[in-house]
Structure 1
Amino acid sequence: MRPQPDHHHEIETLAAFDQVVVGGPLTGYRVQSVDLTDRTEALLATDATEAVFLGCPMSEEAEAKVRADGALVFPPVPNLPFNPYRGLLYTPDSLFEGLTDGGYEATPDALAYAWFQQTKADGDIFASMLRSVHDDAISDSLDEHVLGSPVVGVMGGHAMARGTDAYAGAARLGRSLARAGLTVATGGGPGAMEAANLGAYAAPLADGMLDEALLILGKAPSFTPSVTDWAAAAFAVRSRWPAGGDSVGIPTWFYGHEPPNAFASHIAKYFANATREDGLLARSTAGVVFLPGAAGTVQEIFDNATPNYYESRGEPTPMVLVDRSHWTERLPAWPLLQALAEERPMEHRIALVDSVAEAPAALERLRSTAIPRT
């Protein structure tokens, strides 16, 4: 029986390709963004019936052969600052490559944003298709990465500056959540998002590391006026403490003027912000902590509350809002959330706490409360 296309039949590295062709044919496999220019002999000797090659460089001879087998070949797209078929999530090093020599403007992240701005204005259907293919590939990689992991989302404003008590508190929150065995996921940008990813990075290291890192980062409080200086401070921390913990960042080039942070070990960067927003919340299966924020964070609260209210994602996702005065007075989202939660299964899955230090315990309490569906 021919293998069905699923994650077990995706090949995303050269090592995985070599392992497959040694053991049998490529029949039905999806080979994603793997450089096969040095694997001509293997391709000539292997059955590639109904295989799909997505952005895989290969020799003309090998391409002719696999096409003759009945494989579909989507060749690499030239002159792009990103790979639409990429099979793995981004890393900080891949997005910020060239930062030291050419500044942020020379990095793949900045070049992809510039391409996005240009093609969005042009209305080019080919560019639109490439963005969609890229974002779908990123979603596939993200699903593979978080499969089986208890993911907790941390939401909050991008304006939270390094060197502030609020930033330090968000970092300690990320560290506490990661040390509790949860995978921290954020919007991947600056501010509260960076702080939570920093905390997860600090989780396996000695407690004093985070205090020292906060001092280093405080010398470049914001990504304005210089993204280069802001990012360089983060890489200085990573260089001094290279054995940091894992976390996920899910930023977007839609807000490309806000750079991704360098503390998320795995970065799922999207062109489409709507796909990114929904994807982040949908994958936060262990709950979401909402730090003080503005319009974007308010939107995320109710984007998460809506499927909870309509019971469209199974068990309601625990939601913890941090800072009582912020969410009851400045931006009174909590009273409305309470009104929606009355007599609904989500009623016992929401909490409001005064400080960020209380959030981990509140989240754990909500997670331990099973609410059966009726």
Structure 2
Amino acid sequence: MPPSEASAPRPGDPAAPVPHPGDHEIETLAEFDEVVAGRGSLAGHRVQAVDLTDRTDALLTVDTTDAVFLGCPMHPDAAARVRASGALVFPPVPGLPFDPYRARLYTPGDLYAGLSDGGYDATPDARAYAWFQRTKADGDVFASMLRAVHDDSVSDALDELLHGERVVGVMGGHRMARGTDAYAGAARLGRSLARAGLTVATGGGPGAMEAANLGAYTAPYDDAVLDEALELLAKAPSFTPSVTEWARAAFAVRERWPSGGDSVGIPTWFYGHEPPNAFASHLAKYFANATREDGLLARSNAGVIFLPGAAGTVQEIFDNATPNYYESRGEPTPMVLVDREHWTTRLPAWPLLQALAKDRPMARRVTLVDTVAEAAGALAALSD
């Protein structure tokens, strides 16, 4: 599983960096010091979002030929010297509510910093959404470049985190309220998947997504903990009318049980009115929804479970079905649809999915079950 946080993040807490496996990428000060001490050269390296203001002496002497510094604060003398020696320096961008060069994924504590004192509107998550709303249609090439750089940095960090992991996607509607049987069922599903050794990945938002991340979070604890957590969360059933109270209820659960299990959420500021949930230990939040959707499904290498949802979940079903339909070299990934009535009558995606699967290798990897309690077993059966 992905590396656990040392303790549950609270709003404002710093997050531990995720180690980078690449030989030429430096994402922490410790990695910088190790490379300088061990190799005596930064030539050809990429240094990403590392504060180098206290490393002026090293930067004034070490070889930085063909190095690239992305968003690294440094003394003006050091910046001038590394540029003169052939390095590219992309300085930090002042006034942004996010770091476009960030080297790691977000944690709930990152996105909800300031929640306790100023409410949701004061958090980096809300301020990044407000910035996006102001700039997404103004035609400013600089703003669009910053969004693209940020999202590419997030994808890089997500690949690092999930390298070698068996990832199962859990999709479903954002309207599923805390305190309902459906929410509890989705949470138990997330718990079962995590206990089976899978990394649970969701869209990172509220509803079914939060429930699955909650289940993974409570997986290391006794079963009774999830029941207690569900009871506490039911006091703030939805992110409307107050994201602040909804989020505070989640952080209260995290504070009571601080050593939760890991999972991944992949939300987007494109749907910024849907806040990220606080139970995904790692949040890969994007500006571009298309990048986010493709990344979530493509990384679900152990299969995807589709809980009842609306337009977004229908889109995800067929976004997932398309590469499975054309898969010719390997095995299609399992697809489990939950709730027969929902997917055959209310939103009849299942008949079309069956028609696509007919006479294709994917036919043996898709199934429809009646209840969420059957989903984990169905996924395991398709994976054999």
TM range (shorter): over 0.9
Structure 1 residues 111, 312: closer, same or farther in 2, change over 3 A?
farther
- For 1:167, the equivalent position in structure 2 comes to 183
Matched-pair contact (CA < 8 Å) for 1:320–1:351: yes
* Pair 1:58 & 2:89 matched: no
How far 1:20 sits from its partner (Å)? 1.1
How far 1:61 sits from its partner (Å)? 1.3
* Pair 1:95 & 2:120 matched: no
Matched-pair contact (CA < 8 Å) for 1:12–1:31: yes
* Pair 1:305 & 2:305 matched: no
How far 1:6 sits from its partner (Å)? 8.4
How far 1:97 sits from its partner (Å)? 0.1
What residue identity is the alignment partner of 2:270?
Answer: F
The aligned runs of 1:190-229 (5 Å cut-off) are 190-229=206-245
Structure 1's unaligned 5+ residue stretches are 369-374
The aligned runs of 1:1-374 (5 Å cut-off) are 7-24=22-39, 25-311=41-327, 314-368=330-384
Matched-pair contact (CA < 8 Å) for 1:307–1:313: no
How far 1:313 sits from its partner (Å)? 7.9
How far 1:271 sits from its partner (Å)? 0.3
Can you list the C-alpha shifts for 1:312-354, whole angstroms capped at 9, x where unaligned?
7842110000111111111111111111111101010001111
Which consecutive aligned stretches of 4+ in structure 1 deviate over 3 angstroms post-superposition? none
What residue identity is the alignment partner of 2:361?
Answer: P
What residue identity is the alignment partner of 1:189?
Answer: G
Can you list the C-alpha shifts for 1:57-102, whole angstroms capped at 9, x where unaligned?
0001111121122111000001100000001000000000000000
Matched position secondary structure for 2:37: helix
CA distance in 1, matches of 2:226, 2:61: 53
TM-score by length of 2: 0.93
Deviating more after overlay: 308-317 vs 266-275 = 308-317
Matched position secondary structure for 1:8: coil
CA distance in 2, matches of 1:253, 1:79: 18
Percent same amino acid at aligned positions? 79
TM-score by length of 1: 0.96
Matched-pair contact (CA < 8 Å) for 1:292–1:326: yes
CA distance in 2, matches of 1:133, 1:330: 40
CA distance in 2, matches of 1:335, 1:121: 38
Structure 2's unaligned 5+ residue stretches are 1-19
What residue identity is the alignment partner of 2:153?
Answer: A
Matched-pair contact (CA < 8 Å) for 1:151–1:285: yes
CA distance in 2, matches of 1:288, 1:117: 31
What residue identity is the alignment partner of 2:277?
Answer: N
What residue identity is the alignment partner of 1:15?
Answer: A
CA distance in 1, matches of 2:206, 2:29: 34
Can you list the C-alpha shifts for 1:82-131, whole angstroms capped at 9, x where unaligned?
00000100000000000000000000000000000001132211101100
Structure 1 residues 113, 281: closer, same or farther in 2, change over 3 A?
same
What residue identity is the alignment partner of 1:55?
Answer: G
Matched position secondary structure for 2:259: coil
Equivalenced residues, count: 364
Matched position secondary structure for 1:334: helix
Matched-pair contact (CA < 8 Å) for 2:53–2:73: yes
Matched-pair contact (CA < 8 Å) for 2:21–2:160: no
Matched position secondary structure for 1:298: helix
Matched position secondary structure for 2:125: helix
Matched position secondary structure for 2:137: helix
CA distance in 1, matches of 2:130, 2:292: 19
Matched position secondary structure for 1:73: strand
Structure 1 residues 313, 144: closer, same or farther in 2, change over 3 A?
farther
Matched position secondary structure for 1:121: coil
CA distance in 2, matches of 1:358, 1:121: 44
CA distance in 1, matches of 2:26, 2:281: 21
